[in-house]
Amino acid sequence: MRALGRFRFMISRWNRAQALLRTDARQPTPGRVDVAVFCMPLRGHFNRLTSIIGGLSRVGARVDVYTHRDFQAEVYRCGARFHDLFAEVAVEDLDATSIPTASRFVSFAGAHASRLVHVLERARPRMIVYDSFAIIGWVVARLLDVPSVCICAGHNRLGQHAVAERMRTGPVRISKACEEAVGRLHHLGLTDIDAFSYLDCASRHLNVYCEPPHFLKPSERAPFEPLVFYGSLDPGVASHRALDGHAAWRRARSRRSRIYVSFGTVVWTIRANAARRALWTLCDVLGQLGTCDVLISLGGTPNAPFGTFGLPDNVQVEDYVDQWSVLSETDLFVTHQGLNSTHEAIFHRVPMVAHPFFGDQPALAQRCEELSLSVRMMDLSKEVSDAREVRSFLTAALDESRSDESRMCRDTARQWEVEVMNQRPIVLEQILQVAM
């Protein structure tokens, strides 16, 4: 009987706790800003949001984050509440064929807009923050007529010029599921949405740009207005990650030049063959340079390009490393010139050799070259590359990176990163003002 009584007591406590949670979710505290944040299942995009989520939480906003369960622990560490945006269905189950792949997020928005409108009507947020690839956030904000803030994904990728550039430079194959999703959104009154709206979803209230202002020329800023600059780095979070990268570099000899090679994560899902050929060439060439140690990261893709391929003694390949810690000990970075990787390298003053593949990478590579922060490598994705030419190029790049002029450019760019981070309290206040 005592056990039965205790069981009933525990059940009553549980029911009361659940009732309190439901009450807290449905009735926002007066005077508090309640924010809903949306992000698709993209690691780099979520990483750019952590500083904003944590910053809003620290100043007293209640932040609800709608994203993938892979990010749940990090959402909680930021002081926010997690909601599984894909609990009912994954993006690939709705649309696994649209090209560009980001158009599949439009398919998701069309399928789930009405459901999420009902969810957020109960939560009653005073503001919606969305990564620009999270079209669902933009859609729900408009349908609910709630103020919104767009976190701009990528380098200079917002507005009709970005849509036109994507149509011009890449293959396009829009699925029937995406076309039907666009039709449903039009039926809801959002007649300006199409399969490329992830490139043209600026907020009329505020747009947050994830680079220092020097990377977006004044002539390029009109599509982003009203605009604030926030940067993409969160050193506080990065410095507390597991030090896998340090362990990887410690296995290398300490007195030789250290060359780090990574093409990010997304390339292995959409340009795997090109990335594979480029890494084979680099592995062959760098293996012949006795003056360097080489670390290649596959961005979490297990042994994607190499299999049983024999590696030179001075080359090691890891499925994943902690890039932040690796870059702190790197002399030259061969990169796809993704936005996060680029600015992590700049923060650590690492010279870059750019091998862009798609999206905003070519444009960011060009801008970094203009700022003397990287040099553009010849195309290694073709079937045959001249090993002697590649070796000569990399040797020259390493030598140039040691010049005083090169170091000065990197010092200046690092200061830009520090300055834009120092302005974040002001930007967070501007974000909060959107809800007022």
Cβ burial of 389 (10 Å; 0-12, 13-18, 19+) is exposed
Tell me the pLDDT tens digit for each residue of 224-252: 999 999 999 988 766 555 444 445 565 55
Site of tokens 């002539």: 219
Give dist(CA 325, CA 247) in Å, integer. 9
Query: Residue 28's pLDDT is what?
Result: 43
Chain mean pLDDT for the chain = 87
Planar angle of CA 306, 311, 312, nearest 5 degrees: 155
Query: Residue 170's pLDDT is what?
Result: 77
Neighbours of 382 (CB within 10 A): 11
Neighbours of 388 (CB within 10 A): 10
Region of residue 135 (phi > 0: left; psi between -120 and 50: alpha; otherwise: beta): alpha
Tell me the pLDDT tens digit for each residue of 341-366: 999 999 999 999 999 999 899 999 99
pLDDT band, residue 324 (cuts 50/70/90): very high
Tell me the pLDDT tens digit for each residue of 189-226: 999 999 999 999 999 999 999 999 999 999 999 999 99
Going along the chain from its start, the domains and CATH numbers come out as 30-232+420-434 (3.40.50.2000), 237-402 (3.40.50.2000)
Site of tokens 């076309």: 179
Tell me the pLDDT tens digit for each residue of 87-96: 999 999 999 9
Query: Residue 310's pLDDT is what?
Result: 73
Give dist(CA 300, CA 346) in Å, integer. 22
Mean pLDDT of 29-41: 80
Give dist(CA 265, CA 274) in Å, integer. 13
Query: Residue 383's pLDDT is what?
Result: 62
More confident site: 159 or 74: 74
Query: Residue 242's pLDDT is what?
Result: 45
The bridge status of strand 257-262 relative to strand 332-335 is: parallel
Tell me the pLDDT tens digit for each residue of 150-188: 999 999 998 888 888 888 877 899 999 999 999 999 999
Query: Residue 54's pLDDT is what?
Result: 95
Neighbours of 333 (CB within 10 A): 26
Tell me the pLDDT tens digit for each residue of 126-149: 999 999 999 999 999 999 999 999
Q: Residue 152 forms beta bridges with which residues?
A: 209
Q: What is the 3-state secondary structure (H, E, C) of 216-259?
A: CCHHHCHHHCCEEECCCCCHHHHCCCCCHHHHHHHCCCCCCEEE
Query: Residue 238's pLDDT is what?
Result: 60
